Structures are given as structure tokens and as C-alpha cells.
Amino acid sequence: MRAGPWLVLAGLAAGPALADDSFTQMERGRYIADAGDCMPCHTAPGGKPWAGGRAIETPFGNLVSPNVTPDRETGIGAWTDNEFADALQKGVGHGGEHLYPAMPYTYYTKVTREDVLAIRAYLNTLEPVVNKVRSNQLPFPFDIRANMLAWNEMFFTQGEYKPDTGKSAEWNRGAYLVRGLGHCGGCHTSKNALGGDEDSKALQGNVLQGWFAPNITNDERTGLGKWSVDEVVQYLQTGHNSWAAASGPMAEVVQYSTSRLKTDDLHAIAVYLKDQPGQGGTATATATNAAGEAIYKDSCAACHFGNGEGQARMYPRLALGPFVQSAEPTTLIRVVLEGMRSVGTPGQPTAPAMPAYGWKLDDAEVAAVVTYVRNAWGNAASAVGADDVAKMRKELAQRGD
């Protein structure tokens, strides 16, 4: 792997900084903020970019993202560099208030101070927007910020990323992006009852916001084991490959973050993820029924084909597909019920869509076809019941999604 600007961006270069006149601190900050997927969370629907106001759903209630434009009264214009760095690296905001990990300081702590201050330099160039936001809208007792002292003691380890000297520079760059800026475990790692990461299940998948963020370890059956490094890069760059199409929260990540990153950085992420061991093991196929197969042939085979192979970069492959074999079928049930539209990116502007079938199929029929897909063509996964589908219908109706 050639040495280049990515080493400087990560603050991982040893010795004198590598000169790169094409990057000012502000321009680096813009790129790093993209890597951190910062803008979408700090932008309300229909609101001005970075001015906050977006509701962030947590299991304990909603938090609202703050204004991070340089407005001195309602934004971060009056913050010192140390205060800004403390917010990202220590979870302590302006005035010493403890932040909630919906702002992923538990991951950003691994980001170098150099990169943190580059983000600040970029934010300083934004238009100041007056937008006062009350971020803490959690119910009692979760609204007591002092609770975070105990939470941090249990679940937060402060400190910048330290390279693993036994791994390549590229692997370390990938680790820095996945564990730090990209905060991938925020979605893809399951949480305990108090909202802390279950480190023993790192990157093995997690249910959130009515979706299942899939296993992104190198697990052969339910993770990225059958994906090549180049296929991981293609997915992050365009939102599509032969195995998957980005939808739901991941579509936003691809649109505003990974599709804007350099290929070298995406390759580093892929190399790191492909080195993460999964749970391994096998699953026993569940018996399907004729109804599920008939529904598939009638409603699904035109795009995904009778053999489940799909159309690369248009309609995902279902045969041996990791997301359809996940232990948690949440996403598969959801997309059958309400359909989905995948992301459009500069690399692949067409955003293929899947129609909703919830209006057409009852709960038992949806369960039958989902169970069929999860167990046809060599797939093996647990059955889905009509009650599972009914539960998802109710959740979608309550969420208004």
C-alpha cells in the first residue's frame, strides 16, 4: 500500500508529517466529517445543514441533535478548541455537561486530536445559524446527565487509537475508520440493557429503529465471508454489489459518508472487516411450504430469478445471501411489507426499488415467503411466523414509517 494523504488524515504517520499541499486543515476537516457521517445527524428534515434539530431515536427515548454551526449563542461558536475536543473524545460538552452516547464519543475518542481539530476548522467555515435546540428530551430518570458518570465508568474507555504493530498500515487505517470515525459498532454491535456495546458480539449485527444492521464480520454464512474485498468496496462506494443494496439507515451512510471517501480508505475498511472473525457454525434449514414457493414465483422471481441469483448491482442475490440468513429476520420482513428504495450515488445513480407487498399479502403469507427465501437454494435459517409479521406491521404503523 503506498504512503499517501490517508496516513496524515488519520494522524498515524510516524515522524515528520507527510506534506500534502492539496489539503488545507479545513478541507481535511470536511473529508473527516464525511468519514464520521456527521452532517446527517446534525440536520433536521427540511432544516439547514448542521443546525441540529434531528430526533435521534434511542431505546430510552429521543434525543435531539444540537446545532454545531459557529453561531455563538445557539451553536458552538463560543466553544474553545479544548471544549470541542473534550466533547468528541471525552463525552463532556460546553460547560462540563456530560453527553449521551447517541453522540458517539465512545468511538470518536479514538480519533486523533489533529483530526478532531480539523473537523472544528471545517465547522468554523459554515454559515452561523441561529437555532436553539433542547437536546435532552429523555424521560425521567434518563434525563439526569449525572447518570452518565456511572455509565462511562462501566462502558467507556477513553483514548486515541493505538496502531497494532503486528498489522499492516492499511489494516490499521481500516481499524481507525471502523472503530473510530465510522463508529460502525454504533449500529452493527448489539447493546446490553443499559445501552452499552456487547463487545463479545462486536459487529455481529443489531436491531435498531425497526431495522437489523447486519453482521459485518467475515462470518461465512451471515457476514461478509463470501464477499471479496473489492465487493465490500463496491458496496460502500455505490450502495450496491451482487449481494446487497443499501437501504434504510445504511442508505444514508452510503449517500453522505462512504460514497464520498477515497477508494484507498474504502479498501482499508474492507481489509479490516474481512479480518474480523465471525461466530462461525452452521444452521439447520427449516422446512418450507408450497405456499411460500408459489408466492415467491409469483411476486419475487421476476427480479431475483427462480434460482435466487438476482441481478448484480440492481436486485440483490438471495441464494446464500448473508442478510437473508441472519438470525434476526427484521429487515427481510420489513422490506416485504413496505418495500424499499436503495440509494443512488454518483457511481451508480440508479436507485432500484422493491414494491411493497404488505397490502397484498396477509401475515401468514408474508411469513411463508420469508421463510421460503431464508431456506431455499442452500440457505438455512429459522422460520418466520405470522405473529412475527403482525408485530412488525404494528411497529411500522406506530412509527409512521
Q: Per the domain annotation, does 353 fall within a domain?
A: yes
Q: Which element (helix H / strand E) includes 240?
A: none
Residues 329 and 240 in one domain: yes
| Orientation of helix 169-176 relative to helix 263-273, angle to 10° | 90
Instruction: Spell 378-388 as b/e; 16+ CB within 10 A means b.
Output: ebebbbbeeeb
What's the pTM value of the predicted model, to 2 decimals?
A: 0.90
pLDDT of 346 = 85
Q: Per the domain annotation, does 186 fall within a domain?
A: no
Residues 127 and 217 in one domain: no
Q: CA 268 from chain center: how many Å?
A: 17
Q: Per the domain annotation, does 339 fall within a domain?
A: yes
Residue 326 sits in a domain whose CATH number is: 1.10.760.10
Residues 226 and 371 in one domain: yes
Residues 127 and 231 in one domain: no
Q: Per the domain annotation, does 227 fall within a domain?
A: yes
Q: Per the domain annotation, does 30 fall within a domain?
A: yes
Range of the domain at 51: 5-131+138-155
**Rounded CA separation 237/274 (Å):** 17
Instruction: Tell me the Cα Rg of the chain.
Output: 22
Q: How many residues does the chain have?
A: 401
User: Cell numbers at residue 274, please?
Assistant: 474481512
Q: Per the domain annotation, does 78 fall within a domain?
A: yes
Q: Per the domain annotation, does 190 fall within a domain?
A: no
Among 121, 155, 189, which residue terminates a domain?
155
Residues 89 and 236 in one domain: no
Write the single-letter amino acid at 174.
G
Q: Tens place of pLDDT for every residue, the chain, 401 residues?
A: 333 333 334 443 333 333 444 358 999 999 999 999 999 999 999 999 999 999 888 888 888 899 999 999 999 999 999 999 999 999 998 888 899 899 999 999 999 999 999 999 999 999 999 988 887 777 777 777 878 899 999 999 999 999 999 999 999 999 999 999 999 999 999 999 999 999 999 999 999 889 999 999 999 999 999 999 999 999 999 999 999 999 999 999 999 999 999 999 999 999 999 999 988 767 788 888 899 999 999 999 999 999 999 888 788 999 999 999 998 999 999 999 999 988 888 887 888 889 999 999 999 999 999 999 999 999 999 999 999 999 999 999 988 65
| Total domains, the chain | 2
Q: Per the domain annotation, does 218 fall within a domain?
A: yes
pLDDT of 401 = 58
Residues 96 and 216 in one domain: no
